[in-house]
Structure formats: C-alpha cells, structure tokens
Amino acid sequence: MSNSPQWIKKSAIYHIYPMGFCGCERTRAECTSEQHRIRKIIEWVPHLKSMHINAVYLGPIFESAAHGYDTTDYKKIDARLGTNEDFKDVCKALHDNGIRVILDGVFNHVGREHAAFKDVCANRNNSRYCGWFCNLNFGGNSPYNDGFWYEGWNNCYDLVKLNLRNNEVVEYLLDAVKMWIDEWDIDGIRFDAADCLDNDFIKRIHTFTRNMKPDFWLMGEIIHGDYRRWANPEMFDCVTNYQCYKGIYSSHNDRNYFEIAHSIEYQLGQYGDIYMYNFVDNHDVARLASQLTDYDRIGCCYTLMYTMYGVPSIYYGSEFGIKGAKGRGADADIAIRPCLELDDIPGRDDALLAHISALGAIRSELPALQSGAYKKIDLKNQTFLYQRELDGQVVYIALNISDGDYTFNFNSKYSRLADRLTGRCFDVNGSNASITVPKNHSMILVDANLPAPKQEEKPVAAPVSTPAPMPAEPVKTEPVKEEAPAPTTAPVQKGTPSVGVPQGRKIVIGGHYRHFKGGDYVVLNVAHDHESCEEMVVYMQIYDKPKVWVRPLNMFLEDVNDHGSIKPRFEFIEAMQ
C-alpha cells in the first residue's frame, strides 16, 4: 500500500512556475514598484476547476535575486510577485475551491544575497554564520572573487550550498516551514534538488510536517537512481517520475509502446507502494508539444499519464498544446517558462484542453484509475491495451498510434462497455469484446451500466447563418443499440469570465472584428470540428503579421466581464468589402 496521504490519490496537479507565469522581471533589482502579480492565480481558478484540478504546485515564490531558486528570504514573497497578504488571498481562494497548495522547498542552497551569506562576505571567518555553509575555505577564492571559497550547487556559485548537518540551519528552515503552514495552511512541499539533501534533514522535516498536519505531502525532485532511497515511510511520499516522463514521449515518438509498458511494469515491481508524481513536461524540460515528432499523438500521451499508477501533473499552458524548447546559456529556460494570459494564448488547442478536462473528470469518478491494480492485456509496438481494477471495478485503457484503425479483441465480464471519452457504447458478445479505436486516439472503457456523471448545463449556441454541419466521419465499431451516456467533458471556462452570448447575435463572415484587449481581425468562415462537429470560427489577424486562428463560435460571440465592464469578446466593426 502507498504511504501517501489519501487526498493525493484523488488529485490532479497543476504546476506553475510563478516568475514566468506572472511575467516577472528577470532580476529582483529591476522591480522598482509594488506588484501584486501572484493574485493572477485567482483569475485562473475557474479554469483549474474546469480541468478537475484539485492541487496546485507552485515553483519558487520567495524573495530571491533572480530565478527564485536563489532564495534570500524564506518568509517573504518575492516583491516581483506580490506580498504575503496577496499570497494569503491566493491560498484562501484555492482552498475555498477545493484546491490544495504545494510549495517549492529550496533547502539545498540559498542565493548570494541571503543575509547569512552576506554576513560571511562582510565578516569573513568572524561571522557567526560560517557554519551555515558547506566547505568554506578562507585560504581560497570564488569565481565572484570573494576572497574565500565555498561550495556552490552543481558548480553554480550563485547558489550557495547550505550545511544541513548544522542544527541551527535546520531549525531555521523548519521555522520557515512552520510559518508556511500556520499562515497559508499549505498542504505539501516539493523538495528541489532532493538527491543533494541530507537524509537526516529529510527525515526530520517529514516528522515535523506530519506532526503539524497528518496528511501533509512531501515530494522530492529525483532524476536518476533507486527511488526507494528517498521515497519511503521516513522520508518522501514520492519522487518525480523522470523514468516514465521520458518513456511517455519516447514511446510515442518511436511508436514503441513496449518502452513505456516496460517502465510501468518495472516500477510497479520495484516501487509498487510509491504513488509516483507523473508528468510529461515541467519548468526544466521542453514542452511535450515540442518533444513529439507527431503532434497528433499528444492526446494519447495524456491519456496514458492520467490512467497509469500515480498522480498526474499538468504544467501550466501545456493543456493548450503550447510549444517551448529548452535553450542554452542564460536564456535556456525562457521559452519553457512564459507569461500566459488565459484568454489570449496564441495557437491554443482547445480540443486538447477538452480532452485533458475529460481525463480529469474521468479519473476523479473512477477509483480504479486512482488506486487500482494494473494488468497488461494487449501490447504491440503501436497499440496498447491495459486495465486498472479496484474492488471489482475494471477500467480498460486502449491506445492506438498505428497508421489506421485498430481493433482490440479481449475478454470482459461486462455485457456492454462505454467509452468515457466519447460516450460511445459497445456490445460485448458473450465475454468477447471487440473495440475499434481510430488512429491516434484512445478510449477509456467502463461498464456501460455505470451511471455517467451529471453534466453542467451548457449555454445555448447563437444562431448562425451557415449550412448545417455534416455528420462526423464514422468510426468502425459495434453497432450502438441505445443512447450512449454523455461524455464526461466538463464545460471549459476560459480566461476572462464569460457572461454568455446575447440573444440574436450572429457571426458575420467577412466581418471586421476587434478583440476587447485590442487587435483587429476578419472572420474567414465557420468550420466544424472533425470529431465533435462543434462550430468553430476561422479568423485572421489584420495587424502585425497575418495569422489565422480558430476559436469556438460561442466563445467568439460571447460577452465577457472585463473587471466589471460587460463587453463583447470580439466587437463587430464593419462588413469588409
């Protein structure tokens, strides 16, 4: 059995790197006025709930000189992000909406601007803080020409390694964690550079936090090695699952499901009681959309991550399929840590967002996906079928990245199966199920008699003077004999709050429109999504360089609440000749 708190098994985590997400200056010195950017997270709460996110992991938020991992004050929110009171409001908003808060604990090192290190620089071997840092040598020199040498993390001398064998240092850090729990009621910590931390320190902070909150969650950043060294009943609840991170994108690039299947089975054999932290990208690696050689396989990647053992994590913005490759040098991470505005994300893939939202809903309603046993059923290079089972509930996950449709034939105890992603139902003849999955698609199949979750009411579409949509291309399946349950995709709330489509508002093809934040566009046509037949506006920006965009019709036509002012998302200007 896993040692993790029970709440983590029912969670989907959203990972934010606040300095990038909030558009902060690159250094603290460049910030010359009071900011409240961290409150931006509150605006994203409806979006998180629409994705069925119930925990947010925030990268470094504390005062630092540059990127956040060079901490200068563990008890003060970085001024580029806001104030402690701002963050208190953020935590309250998240908690009020059933979303837990996980902070980045950067305990291996501090920045050169930390008060204790500055004291060493000023007073040298007379400083009372000499014992706080590793391998101080006043007979040497540093790359910063300090007149003494010290140990920097990974040869990065802006990151001064703390001496975690010094009890005064440990007490100092525990006092900071106590403040985080007392003031903000945080629910967990992700430990940066966890493989560099002293084991006794990890054990002590484990005991300390569990005494304060019995269901507190601890996760360590580990890239290589035997995960049991760090994830065990005395230390972390889990670690970052880099092995499967690589296996997910690589198996889809090489069209070789044997790779990820092997990793899953190996981990269950070695670490079956560790509830892994699963991800497909984060603040240190390229976005999944930039890793894949065929973007059309991205949905299968997320289906796999959401249905394998462990807790899934989404890195902010990747739910829209945004790209970002890892660079080199001082600017290496800029592309993977962008500032995002929810209602103005270039090239956003709303179909992927809907897919991930559906996965969140499905996982939250099926205990077998949260904690069930894993069993491989059918594995080939380009197709993969496995099941999760808990207390008699069996869920089948089918993945197909071959060159065409693929039919899975397998035994099932259910007389009828329903795909939770599309709502389609399939008869099972005797105990023999035959399910055809289209190319680059996935299915999550359950007992068709299992009640579908209730759906929130969706807004009524505005009338459009375009031809009726053609039916979607048929998928090879067993015939459907009764009405299929509704798919689990929840209505997606995006960006600035919608107040709906005013009655009678219609799209004008060829019309000149202006976005409420600026920018002029011309509507080219109304198209239909190939899979869902949803009406989509195709429009082109007519400022800067021409680009063509696609957006759901209702979203294009709706009014929004822009900080108390009701206005059209896109205002009609004139019909262009």
Q: Residue 472: is its pLDDT beyond 70? A: no
Q: Do 365 and 503 sit in the same domain of this protein?
A: no
> For residue 180, is it within any domain?
no
Q: Residue 479: is its pLDDT beyond 80? A: no
> For residue 455, is it within any domain?
no
Q: Residue 484: is its pLDDT beyond 50? A: no
Alpha-helical segments (H) within 15-130:
18-21, 40-43, 45-50, 84-96, 115-123
Triad 241, 440, 280: Cα angle to 5°: 20
> For residue 43, is it within any domain?
yes
The average pLDDT across 38-42 equals: 98
Reported as a single tens digit per residue, the pLDDT across 100-111 is 999 999 999 999
Pick from 370, 404, 432: which residue ends a domain?
370
Triad 319, 423, 373: Cα angle to 5°: 75
**Residue matched to tokens 């006043």:** 138
> For residue 462, is it within any domain?
no
- Structure-model confidence comparison of residues 484 and 532, the more confident one: 532
- Structure-model confidence comparison of residues 3 and 416, the more confident one: 416
Q: Which two tokens stand for residue 515?
A: 């976005």
Reported as a single tens digit per residue, the pLDDT across 295-337 is 999 999 999 999 999 999 999 999 999 999 998 888 889 999 9
CATH number at residue 271: 3.20.20.80
Q: Do 82 and 230 sit in the same domain of this protein?
A: yes
pLDDT in the model for residue 535 = 87
> For residue 181, is it within any domain?
no
Q: What percent of the chain has pLDDT over 90?
A: 79
pLDDT level of residue 503 (50, 70, 90 thresholds):
confident
The average pLDDT across 508-524 equals: 89
Inter-helix orientation angle 199-212/167-184, to 10°: 30
Pick from 315, 340, 370: which residue ends a domain?
370
Q: Residue 494: is its pLDDT beyond 70? A: no
> For residue 365, is it within any domain?
yes
pLDDT in the model for residue 463 = 30
Reported as a single tens digit per residue, the pLDDT across 373-390 is 999 999 999 999 999 999
Reported as a single tens digit per residue, the pLDDT across 426-448 is 999 999 999 999 999 999 999 99
**Residue matched to tokens 């082109």:** 540
CATH number at residue 550: 2.30.30.320
> For residue 5, is it within any domain?
no
Which residue, 400, 313, 307, 289, is CA-closest to 359? 307
In this structure, the strands spanning 570-575 and 511-515 are antiparallel
Q: Residue 486: is its pLDDT beyond 50? A: no
> For residue 440, is it within any domain?
no
- Structure-model confidence comparison of residues 70 and 517, the more confident one: 70
pLDDT in the model for residue 537 = 93
Q: CB within 8 A of 272, min separation 6: which ones?
A: none
The average pLDDT across 220-247 equals: 97
Domain holding 524, by residue range, is 498-575
What is the average pLDDT value for the chain, to the nearest integer?
91
Pick from 314, 345, 370: which residue ends a domain?
370
**Residue matched to tokens 């997270």:** 41
Q: Do 365 and 505 sit in the same domain of this protein?
A: no
Q: What's the number of domains the chain is made of? A: 2
In terms of average pLDDT, the best of 334-338, 492-496, 505-509 is 334-338
